[in-house]
Amino acid sequence: MRLFVALPPPPESLDEVQRAFLPYHHAWPGLRWLSRDNWHVTLAFLGEVPDRVLPRLEERLARAAARHAPMTFSFTGAGAFPSARRSRVVWSGLDGPRADLVKLAASLQAGARRAGAVETDDKRLRPHLSVARSREDVDVRPLVAALSSFTGAPWEASEIHLVRSDLGARVRYQTVESWPLSRTTLQGG
């Protein structure tokens, strides 16, 4: 199955992002706005993982989550991949302890690899919340500029989700398991 690990921001924070972008939807017909139900912050993309790896994977991810404390972030501004001038993905950024988040992501990724998830993507993490995509390059510089002053309220990242992605006409995500972030040691491990 195709899996990734994500942070689920609280609905109130997603509401803020949605409200910030909504006034611009009509002006950007080239962008496909992603379903709010699917919004997430990807921490680690694991790719195709064999079923037999799942128990070990879950053990490793639980252990990684238990070694990291909750963190506070707020959504801020807008940006685009690969660039604002030739955007394919539009996102809102994260303000907060990015170094800690990158460490958590690296730890999840290393654990997943050790468990046998061999398709793990090792590109450097650039934390973001994707809100729109396009099939062609779109110059979204005016959109990025218009949203530069957007800042949402702080929210606590307190758990991680292991999510299964079923690709198809409509992408469907399903949370397989979730673990709290807590810097305490696991019992019985």
Binding site for ligand ATP (CB under 6 A): 2, 4, 42, 45, 121, 123, 130, 165, 167, 171
How far apart are CB 73 and ligand ATP at their closest, in Å?
A: 16
Q: How far is the CB of 78 from ligand ATP (least distance, A)?
A: 16
**Smallest separation, CB 80 to ligand ATP (Å):** 13
Between residues 153 and 171, which has the closer beta carbon with respect to ligand ATP? 171
Closer residue to ligand ATP, CB minimum distance, 36 or 183: 36
d(CA 118, CA 105): 16
DSSP symbols for 99-113: HHHHHHHHHHHHHHH
Query: Considering beta carbons, is residue 1 or 146 the nearer one to ligand ATP?
Result: 1
128-138 and 41-48 as β-strands: parallel, antiparallel, unpaired? unpaired
- Both tokens of residue 27? 């002006």
128-167 burial by CB neighbour count: b if 16+ within 10 A, else e?
Answer: bbbbbbbeeebebeebbebbeebebeebebbebbbbebee
Measured from the CB atom, is 37 or 184 closer to ligand ATP?
37
CA angle in degrees (0–180, nearest 5) for 51-52-53:
90
Q: How far is the CB of 128 from ligand ATP (least distance, A)?
A: 9
Q: Which amino acid is present at 61?
A: L
**Pick 68 or 161: Cβ nearer ligand ATP:** 161
Q: List Cα–Cα distances, 24 to 29, 85, 139, 144, in angstroms.
A: 10, 17, 14, 11
We find the least distance from the C-beta atom of residue 96 to ligand ATP, in angstroms, to be 19
